[in-house]
Amino acid sequence: MCGIAGLILSSGAPPPDPSTVSRLIETLRHRGPDGSGHAVVGRVALAQNRLAIIDLVTGEQPLFAGPATLVGNGEIYNYRELRAELPDVAFATNSDCEPPLHLWLRRRTAYVEALRGMYAFAIHERAQRTVTLSRDPFGIKPLYIAQVAGGLAFASEAQALLESGLVPRTVRPAAREELLQLQFTTGAETIFEGIQRVLPGETLTCADGNVLDRRRIHALPEGGPEQIDEAAALARLDRALMESVALHQRSDVPYGMFLSGDVDSAALLALMARQNDQPVLAYTAGFEVPEAAEERAQAAAMAKAVGARHERVEVTEAMVWRHLPEIVGAMDDPAADHAIIPTWFLARRAREDVKVVLSGDGGDEMFAGHSRYASAMRPWWRGGRAMWARGSFDKVPVLRTRPSAWRDGIAAAEARAADSGLSRLGMAQAVDMDEWLPNDVLLRLDRCLMAHAVEGRTPFLDRGVAEAAFRLPDGLKLRGGMGQYILRKWLEQALPAARPFAPTQGVPVPIGAWIKANGARLGPLVAAHPSVAEIADPAQVEALFRDIRRWRHGQACWKLLFYALWHRRHVLGLPPAGDVFDTLAAT
């Protein structure tokens, strides 16, 4: 895992400013504290900060081969197999990123079709003066571009483009509506005017300061549900999961996993325990609420059943208030997801032992685990409704202007899914894979782990797993209102201690209760923040914080608190000034 950045300037522009390149490198230092490198040729600059995971000795970047230079962020898990397919190549390193460079020399933009992993690459072809930018099909690794004075800039994080002065700190109102209503933003356009995401699976060909061509490969196999019985599906799934976890454990540094009480992480624990001679190192977060005790006990029981080393991370209210400005500050591309809180603290603890963590993220989307899928499959007259149909402020009238177009990005994803020949369930999953997964779940995992220089890996988001699982019949995914049926059946045999068919409910972060207990103190601070005062009536905001009566009220308060902290850090450009109360008061 690393951070990359660069400039692709037009022929009429001055060469890249060394101070700008230095600022890009420095801003991304947290992503790669093990070293940095850069290359400037003509009007193209490539830079990388390295987190050394594979090939600790010779894996520095940029990598060079013939007329091409590569910088990358991520891991190519099938790099050994790719090396074997290139017997005539004299590799200069043992890096997993060198085979993609040689593949690009042979196949140009089609090189990504051979890759199995998570990645964001920039490849400069010096003779033709082109730069190829590529992002993995699931969108596990981030990549941003911006049209700047003299040409294009790119970076692993939007904040690098802001901190370097290449792009002004201007909020796009439509994306702000999405953030407040949905908790994430959709599509290629980010919340910052002028900064775009390279979409999952996209490969861009750039030259002379412009994007010349865009091509895209998709993560999910094409076609509707296939015909396969349960026994055959279980056997195929076992092979796919075992292969994916084996590939995701390729590392030259220690690794562990995040374990909760859910089916995804339980399956990951079982798979890792089957493949490792040493005890699996598992980290579990817990909160100061009574219902959390059961989930922690379930995680402990599963860890004991496989002989794992189980590390518990207790997240207290005091810890959250003290570190929330830092946590929100990590989310430069904002996702107001409660899960950023435990993820950040888990990563901080894991960094004491390991550099790599495997996570069950993506399992709910791949195997239809979200409860909203069951609702999306029912007709309206049986209580069904479209996903993401209600926004957080629909019944909390504190905003000066009622949000109107906040669902347009989701509607566009629904339209794309409707043209794919998928079942109703498959369409719901595809919408989540298209928007929610890369722009909330994976973004949160990337930023919270990289804030502590920890690499996050997601074995359920793998080409082989997608081919084995996504086109299964709906009844093998969702049965009796319970999602992830086939994964639960597999887990019933692999790890009975997981009790996969027992009624379970994930324990949410109790941020609503914590805000309610501090509403009288937080309300005036949030209401007075310039970012909130611009979009909401301060008196109504204070009243909302004083009188949190329903879940939706707590959600709205959390979104406003998140936005105030985020705006302070990434629009005003101010660092944290202590705990959450001191930071808000200092604005």
Domains of the chain by start residue, with CATH: 2-216 (3.60.20.10), 230-383+438-498 (3.40.50.620), 511-585 (no CATH)
- Average confidence (pLDDT) over 144-158: 98
Q: Using a pLDDT cut of 70, give the percent of the chain over it.
A: 97
DSSP class of residue 16 equals: P
Q: Using a pLDDT cut of 90, give the percent of the chain over it.
A: 90
Alpha helices by DSSP H, 330-439: 340-350, 363-367, 371-377, 408-418, 424-431
pLDDT one-digit tens code per residue, 170-190: 999 999 999 999 999 999 999
pLDDT one-digit tens code per residue, 31-48: 999 999 999 999 999 999
CA-based R_g, the chain, Å: 23
pTM equals 0.97
Cα separation, 145 vs 155, whole angstroms: 7
Contact 11, 211 (CB under 8 A): no
- 421 Rama class: left (phi>0) / alpha (psi -120 to 50) / beta: left
* pLDDT above 70 (res 110): yes
- Average confidence (pLDDT) over 540-569: 96
pLDDT one-digit tens code per residue, 194-221: 999 999 999 999 999 999 999 999 999 9
Instruction: Please tell me the predicted confidence (pLDDT) of residue 292.
Output: 62
Question: What does the block give as tokens for 443?
Answer: 């973004």
pLDDT one-digit tens code per residue, 484-515: 999 999 999 999 999 999 876 666 899 999 99
Question: What does the block give as tokens for 380?
Answer: 């309206």
* β-pair partners for 196: 145, 189
* Helix (H) or strand (E) segment spanning residue 263: helix 263-275
554: nearest Cα among 393, 440, 343, 316: 393
pLDDT band at 358 (very low <50, low <70, confident <90, very high): very high
Instruction: Please tell me the predicted confidence (pLDDT) of residue 507.
Output: 66
Question: What does the block give as tokens for 511?
Answer: 């941020």
Output phi, psi for 543, to 5 deg: -65, -40
Q: In the sheet where 195-197 sits, what is the strand order? A: 36-41, 44-50, 2-9, 151-155, 144-148, 195-197
* pLDDT above 70 (res 578): yes
Instruction: Please tell me the predicted confidence (pLDDT) of residue 378.
Output: 75
DSSP strand pairing (2-9 vs 151-155)? antiparallel
- Average confidence (pLDDT) over 12-31: 96
Cα separation, 265 vs 363, whole angstroms: 9
pLDDT band at 56 (very low <50, low <70, confident <90, very high): confident
First to last CA, the chain: 34
Instruction: Please tell me the predicted confidence (pLDDT) of residue 1.
Output: 60
- Average confidence (pLDDT) over 120-136: 96
What's the mean per-residue pLDDT of the chain? 95
pLDDT one-digit tens code per residue, 416-446: 999 888 999 999 999 999 999 999 999 999 9
Hey, what amino acid is at 445?
Answer: L
* Helix (H) or strand (E) segment spanning residue 117: strand 117-125
DSSP class of residue 432 equals: I
Cα separation, 577 vs 575, whole angstroms: 6
Output phi, psi for 579, to 5 deg: -75, -175
Of 110-124, 340-354, 412-426, the one with minimum mean pLDDT is: 412-426
Contact 452, 224 (CB under 8 A): no
Neighbouring C-beta atoms of residue 292, cutoff 10 Å? 19
